[in-house]
Amino acid sequence: MTAPTPNTPWRLIIHADMDAFYASVEQQDRPELRGRPVVVGGSPDGRGVVAAASYEARRFGVRSAMPMARALRLCPDAVRVPPRFDRYHELSQAIFGFYRELTPLVETLALDEAYLDVTAIAGPPDDATPLGLRIKSEVRTRTGLTVSVGAGSSKLVAKVASGHGKPDGLVVVPAGAESAFLGPLPAGVLWGVGPKAAAALEARDIRTVAQLAEADPAVLRVIFGSRASAVAGMARGEDDRPVEPVRDHKSIGAERTFPRDIGDGPELRASFEHIAAEVANRLNAQGLEAATITVKLRYADFRTITRQTRLAEPSADAGTLRAAAVRLFEQTIQPEDRLRLLGITTSKLTAQGVERVTQLPLW
């Protein structure tokens, strides 16, 4: 990076991502689990899914969102631990409290993940290594856990960098080196390039980010439609999105598009648990709870419907959200229906811990 001027502003963005957060917390709190394969999630008998897997379990092919029964078949020696979201939230608050001591420009993505705009505090703009080392050291001191840190001139570069160094990594991409860093990587590292798009690109001999950046725009329009120019821009390292420390959420949700149309069954039911857990994580990361839940169903013919209900009381509990979503689903689904997408959205959001007063009848 060069020194900033009115015509050439620079930014330094850090993406901090805890390593196998839920599983690492369990290993930290229970020393007998350290060094052993650990999977956090629901019971295999109840169609549970993996919320997190330790790196020891990942060596066997275990991944988050995988049905728990399959995970335990892949790794029979794994120790299954039910999630403790209260504990994860407690440690998340300690971690994010430190981030906000560094800079007010902290954008929360989940309980274990955030962007930090450290432009004003980074020191020499071409060297983020000392600050990255400080973040890693302080997080370990306060929690005993490891965090992977990526630093660059944009959210895109910082996030790819943090993933590139996992676990317990620190990767700094100097300004001007974005293309050199991104170019050799698989095109699938870019946001919006999912498995289907990556396969379509590979069929046209476009495998790396550099090849994607140089691809014929007409080819990209066939694959990405209206998003083609944005994807090409990302491949060139273009990303001017700001770090947004405060967002007035009207709703928080998550959804999953299935690789093939599916009917009601174990895979679909397991998706409810995974999606509800993701929504709960996002609510807890923002210190929010929801009073209303909406289920979104997209059928094989692309027909899309939503169904909504009000919770008995506001909640950010994954089990509560899942149960409400499943009830809506069961009131709607027919035996012959096949779905392309399932989504859960929460709304009527309020801050957690706000005291509620119930008015008693006058007479």
Active site residues: 113
The number of angstroms, rounded, from the C-alpha of 93 to the middle of its chain's C-alpha atoms is 17
Is the separation of the CB atoms in 40 and 19 below 8 Å? no
**In the block, which residue shows the tokens 């980010």?**
209
Phi-psi region for residue 173, left (φ > 0), alpha (ψ -120 to 50) or beta?
A: beta
Q: Cα–Cα–Cα angle for 160, 224, 281, nearest 5°?
A: 45
Give which of 288, 289, 302, 293 is closest to 343, Cα–Cα: 293
Phi and psi (nearest 5°) for 344?
-130, 125
Give which of 67, 39, 60, 50 is closest to 262, Cα–Cα: 67
> Pairing between strand 79-81 and 38-41?
parallel
Is the separation of the CB atoms in 307 and 347 below 8 Å? no
Q: How far apart are the first and last CA of the chain?
A: 72
Q: Which helix (H) or strand (E) holds 294?
A: strand 288-299
Give which of 28, 49, 31, 32 is closest to 40, Cα–Cα: 49
Q: Which two tokens stand for residue 147?
A: 């965090």
Q: Which two tokens stand for residue 84?
A: 């403790």
Within 10 angstroms of residue 46's Cβ, the number of other Cβ atoms is 11
Phi and psi (nearest 5°) for 107?
-110, 115
In whole angstroms, what is the distance from residue 111 CA to residue 304 CA?
A: 30
CA dihedral 201, 302, 329, 71 (to 10 degrees): -20
